[in-house]
Structure 1
C-alpha cells in the first residue's frame, strides 16, 4: 500500500515524539565552560535547568541518575593493535567496572521500554592507562552541534499551562533544523530490545585510533550484545524496576557478554555525531566484555566513578568532535555536586537487597 503523506497535525505530533525520544539523553551533553559564552549560558544555569526539569535529587548523578553497577573483564582479541598502540588492546584480559542506567535525571523513574538505556565502562589494566566510555542504545545523536541542542532544549521546555512542549515552538525548531528531523527519523526506527542484557550500545562520538607510527584513523565503537535480541514486550507496571530486575535475573543465570566493535572511518567521513557512517565501513572486533556480578549503587564499585569519555589511553584520542569535552566538563560538575551531597543521599531505586534477591525486593 502506498504510504500517505502526513497531515500538519500528524507532523507536529511526530516532531513532539522525536523530542521526547531525545529529551532523555539531553542532560549528558550540557554546555559548560567553552561551549557558549558565559553571558549566554553558564554552568550554574545549566544545572539549575536540569534540576528544574527533573527535580533536585541530592547525591545522585544529574544525568543517568537511575542505575546499577557491574564488574567483570575484557578479553582483547588483539585485532585492534593494527590501528592503535593502546596496550589494553593487546591480547589479554583487563578488569572492567561498568554501569547500566537510564538517560535522564530522575533516579526513581519507573522503568519503561522507551527510555534510553546506557552502558558505561571503565577498562582499567592492573598496570597501564585506563579507558572510560559511555554508550547509549540509539544509533546517532540527533543534533549537529551544541547550538542546535540548546535551541531544541528551549523549544521542548514544557509549557506551564499544559505541562507539554508547545507544538508551535517544536515546529519552528524543526523547520530551522531539518537535520534534526532526519536524525530523529532514524532514531525512531530503531528496534528496542526486551532488556538491558540484549541491547547494543553505541559510543556515538568520533575518536581517533593512533598506531605506533603515529598514523591516525577515525573510529566509532559499539558494545554489541552476544545475548540474542528479543523485541520489547509489555511493560510490567506492577514492578517499577522491571527492566533492572530482568537484568539482575539475567546476570544471575549466566555471565553477560558484549562484543566491543570498532568501526573504522575514512578521512572524509562526518565527525558530527548526527550523521551515520556508510554501512560499508570496516568493523573490527576488539574483544569481548563479560559482566558477571551486579551491585546496587549504594556502595557499589561504580558509585564513585565519573565515566568521563575523555579519559583515554595512549593510542586513543579525541577528534574534532567537541561533544566529549563538553560531556567531560558536565560530568565533572555532576560528580562534585553529588560528592558534596553524599550524606543527604537516600537509598537508590535498585537496592542491594533487590540485587541479592535476584530481582524484586
Structure 2
C-alpha cells in the first residue's frame, strides 16, 4: 500500500467514525509558535493551564521520538439551542458556553482519536502513535492551522471554511510518514469585530490574547473574581462566546451532527438559585459530564452569585444572606457580600455589619466593608 492510498483510506475511515474534518502535517518544530509563546510568557498573558515547557509545545519529537506526522481532527458542535428556556424575572438563569453544551469534548475526541490510533496500528503495527486533546503538550490550534483544518483567526480560534470556529480540536502524533496537507491562508482581512466586541479587551490585537483578562479563563478561576471584571461577566457561568458570536465567518453556522454534543437546556442554561444549594454529589450528578464542571462547583456557584447581582434579583437576597453567614468558603461568603451590596438597599446594612463583626477572613471582611459603603451611598 502506498502512502497516498493509506492516507485516502484513513480519511475515509475517519469520516465513518464521525470525524468532520481531518488534516495532516509534519512533525517539524513550530518555530513561529515558539516566538509567540515566549512573548506571551514574558507579558504574563498565559492562563497557567498550559504545558509550562515551551520546548515540548513546539518540538513534537520531544513528546514522541522519531515522530514524522501529526494528524489533526475537528468535530463540529452546535451554536444554537433548540427550545432554549427563557431567563425570567421569576427564574433567572445562567449560561454555559457552547463548547460545554454536550458531553465533555475531551472524552468525545479521545474516543475518536483512539479509534484512529487502532486503525493505524492494525495496518502498521510497528509504528507508534500518541494522541492528545486540549491538555496535551502540543498547541491544538497551531497543529490544526498547519494541517489545513482552518486558519487562526484574530479571535485566537481556528476558523474552518465549513463549520466556522464552532469546532473541537484534537491531534495524534505518529512515527508513520503521511503526506502533509497545505495550510489555509488567513482570511480575516481587515475585520476587527471580535477585538471590538471582547467584553474585557482581552484580545489585545488580532491573534494575541491576554488570558488573564479573558472571561472564558476568569470563569474557571477558583478565587475571588477581581472587582473590575464582575460586571463584565453578565450571566455567564462558564466560558464566553462573544468573539465567536460576532465573527462573520460563523454567521449561519449551526451543526447538529453528533448526538452526544446536543445540549440539555436545563444544564446548558440552568436556574441560578438552585445551583447555590447543591451538594458536591448533586453537582456532579447533574453537571459532571460536561466540560464546564472540571473545576468543581465553587467557580460555578461564585459566577452564579455574580449573575444574580447582574440581574439585580431581589428574590435572591435571603439565600445570599444565608451563604454570607453559613458557607464555609471565603470566596462564596465574600462574593455573596458583594452581591448583596449590588442588589440590596440600606435595609440589608444591619445583616452585613453583623456578619462583618464575626468575619475572620480579611478578604471577606473587605468585601463586607465595601458592600456596606455601597448600601450607604444608595440612601
Larger Rg belongs to:
2
Whose RCO is larger (CA < 8 A, sep 6+)? 1
Q: TM-score, normalised by structure 1?
A: 0.29
Q: TM-score, normalised by structure 2?
A: 0.28
Structure with the higher fraction of residues in helix conformation: 2
Structure with the higher fraction of residues in strand conformation: 1
